[in-house]
Amino acid sequence: MNKLIECVPNFSEGSDKQILDSIAEAISSNKGVTLLNIDPGKATNRTVMTFVGSPEAVIDAAFCAIKVASEKIDMSKHKGEHPRFGATDVCPLIPISNVTFDELVPYAEKLGERVAKELKIPVYLYEYAAKNKERKNLANVRSGEYEGLKEKLTKKTWKPDFGTTVFNKKSGAVAIGVRDFLIAYNINLNTKSTRLANAIAFDVREKGRIKRKGHPVIGDIVYDSKGNPSTIPGSLKYVKAIGWYIEEFGISQISMNLTNINQTPIHVVFDEVSKKAEKRGARVTGSEIVGLIPLKPMLDAGKYFLKKQNRSVGVPEIDIISIAVESLGLNQVKKFIPEKNIIEYYLDTLFDDKKKIIELKATEFSDEVARESPAPGGGSVAAYVGALGSSLGEMVANLSANKRGWEDRVENFSAIANKIDEIRKELLFLVDEDSNSFDRIMTSFKLPNNSEEEKKIRLTAIYDSSIYAAEVPLRVMNRSYDSYKLIFELAKNGNQNSISDAGVACLCIHAAIYGAYLNVKI
């Protein structure tokens, strides 16, 4: 599966359109990245740009943007309300799908090394990319800001992770890191009271509320030994929250930033706010996601609510998302549209110039295979037959999970259905990938073949594409067999009213494995 990451660099310029357009062009000109948003701020004299793509493409685009910013922005003349210490102040890499924090760290290091070497800008690594605890927090890394950077560079404890300690007067420094996706999330209440919304926000946010003697609102503030106000922590880590009234909707909301959705996922936040609201006599009526959200937290939420209902989680992805949307009340104030609000789905609408095979209707797919073009051919059909067999197996698992009297076996059958669902999705991906691998071979044969160097490049391309074209059906064989083992178990121990479905599933899987084998051999 393709790896997808997001990059959200902050540039120390908020009003000069020519400069911002130059930076945006530097990003957009890189193949494989999509610039999603440009958010300039005049008061802060700062602009946030958001773009996505593969890790390799993203760090190339990030370097180009940092380079243009270093040429166009003069930090010695910069003024703005937001803390900053460089022309490109921060440049975080954020995993979206099929990539982990640990896998992203080398990319942050590669980008940092290149920036320091080619642009002579000191680079500090922060968050998950940090080399020590002191540099994990961005506020620590940026302390002293641009004005204190020259002196900071002379301190041994603040030697840059990449680059020299020479002060770059024009560009300052840049912080490059790996961090979690930040979600702007609002929860709706059945009240117009900002005070009540704030009280609930203070109950849950990590920062909590100021500790007071006696009365929790008007009592004297309690101070610690250092003279700072003591606080009572809230119940949710990695959550920032305030309460406010939205005149447009006629309700109060708890407005939150979720800074670590792996540790504190959106569904946990929703349930916790619901509990705290009920204790204070209020009721949660729905919620709102501001901007885009990755697919994973939506799937996690949907599966969470399915488990609460003692239902199987091994169901189609769109059904899981639908459960999440309804359970979180995401349609209350404005309609949640997966194709516009989920990053991966949104990108599919931007990138898909050519319609995928798996998006064709059954009759269209049959017609496409019947045509005289060599692809899609047997490899794609084998993968699709395997996916259909897996679909049947998944159905048997879900019918078994929901069989009356088998309530104590739901978790077991749900786990099997979920495993088969993952296999099914991969086989559907391989339907198109088999056709794509054939196209790669054809493309490599069309490469120039004149000079010795061109011949060498062409032969290498033909070899690599041929190997990959064999690897795809081999994956179909392996994943289909994984599915077969699970379905065979269901045939023995699952709902016997569905034994014929399990049998057809196994026959489909057999055809997929043998069909893919023939494509490996050819």
Burial 55-75 (b: 16+ CB within 10 A, else e): bebbbbbbbbbbbbbbbbbeb
Residues 291-300: what's their mean pLDDT? 92
pLDDT 10s digits, 240-260: 999 999 888 899 999 998 989
SS3 350: helix
Element (H, E) at 18: helix 17-28
Q: What is the pLDDT of residues 72-101, one digit of tens each?
A: 999 999 988 788 999 999 999 999 988 999
Give the fold, CATH level 3, of 4-178.
Formiminotransferase-cyclodeaminase; Chain B, domain 1 (3.30.990)
Residues of the chain with CATH 3.30.70.670: 183-347
pLDDT classification of 39: cutoffs 50, 70, 90: confident
To the query of whether residue 434 is one of the catalytic residues in this protein, the response is yes
Instruction: Using DSSP, state whether 368 is helix, strand or coil.
Output: helix
CA distances from 286 to 68, 83, 282, 324 (A): 43, 35, 12, 12
What confidence score (pLDDT) does residue 219 get? 82
What is the band of 476 on the pLDDT scale with cuts at 50, 70, 90?
A: very high
In sequence order, what E strands does 317-439 have? none
Could you tell me the two tokens for 391? 């679909």
Each residue of 175-218: pLDDT tens digit? 999 999 889 899 999 999 999 999 999 999 998 988 888 877 77
Residue 503 has pLDDT above 90, yes or no: yes
**Mean local confidence (pLDDT), 423-441:** 94
Q: Please give the mean pLDDT across all residues of the chain.
A: 93
- CA max distance for the chain: 88
Domain ranges in the chain with CATH number 3.30.990.10: 4-178
pLDDT reported for residue 247: 87
* Dist. CA 126–CA 10, nearest whole Å: 15
Q: Is the pLDDT of residue 349 over 90?
A: no
Q: Which of 82, 271, 482, 510 is catalytic?
A: 82
Cβ(502)–Cβ(392) under 8 Å? yes
Nearest to residue 206, comparing CAs of 279, 264, 154, 247? 264
User: 84 and 46 in contact (C-beta within 8 Å)?
Assistant: yes
Active site residue 82: yes
- Which amino acid type is present at position 514? Y
Asked if residue 352 has pLDDT above 80, the reply is no
Q: Domain 183-347 is in which class?
A: alpha beta
Query: Dihedral through CA 308, CA 310, CA 311, CA 313, nearest 10?
Result: 60
CATH architecture of 354-521: Up-down Bundle (1.20)
Q: Which residue has the tokens 């909707």?
A: 249
Provide CATH 1.20.120.680 ranges for the chain: 354-521
pLDDT per residue over 10-34, tens digit each? 999 998 999 999 999 999 999 989 9
Comparing CA positions, the residue from 49, 46, 91, 93 lying closest to residue 73 is 46
d(CA 313, CA 416): 10
Q: How far apart are CA 120 and CA 78, in angstroms?
A: 19
Q: Is the peptide bond before 233 cis (omega within 30 degrees of 0)?
A: no
How far apart CA 73 and CA 71 sit, in angstroms, is: 6
Burial of 14 (0-12, 13-18, 19+ CB in 10 A): buried
Active-site entry in 180, 203, 300, 434:
434
Task: Name the more confident of 228 and 57.
Answer: 57
